[in-house]
Amino acid sequence: MSDPAQMHQAVRLIALETVLVHVAKIALVNAGVGASAIQALRENTRAKLNVQTLPGLKPVWSDHLSSELEEAVDDILTDIENAVAAAWKQLGRDPDS
């Protein structure tokens, strides 16, 4: 990627994902939510996205982009799950116990 505008967009996207994970971690830990609840959320979300289609696209593109979306959302939710688990470990508590 050599286009400065594309690089800027990529960096902004990474920054947004990083902030999202951090804010979600803070909110979920403050709410007393453990990593197992986030894991369940991630699995439910993945199942829903697995059957989602994107209207207006050719079926092959809809399937491809739906799969990409499913993977991207799963990656972010996994990062949140790991951040929450690490936060609880650092606090010496585990709401899942």
What is the per-residue pLDDT for 6?
93
Q: Is 25 inside a domain boundary?
A: yes
Mean pLDDT by 10 residues, the chain (97 residues): 88 97 97 94 92 86 90 96 95 87
- Residue 27 sits in which domain range? 4-91
Q: Is 60 inside a domain boundary?
A: yes
What is the per-residue pLDDT for 97?
77
Q: Is 38 inside a domain boundary?
A: yes
Number of domain units in the chain: 1
Query: What is the pTM assigned to this prediction?
Result: 0.87
Q: Is 96 inside a domain boundary?
A: no
At 16 the three-state DSSP class reads helix
Q: Is 65 inside a domain boundary?
A: yes
Q: Is 97 inside a domain boundary?
A: no
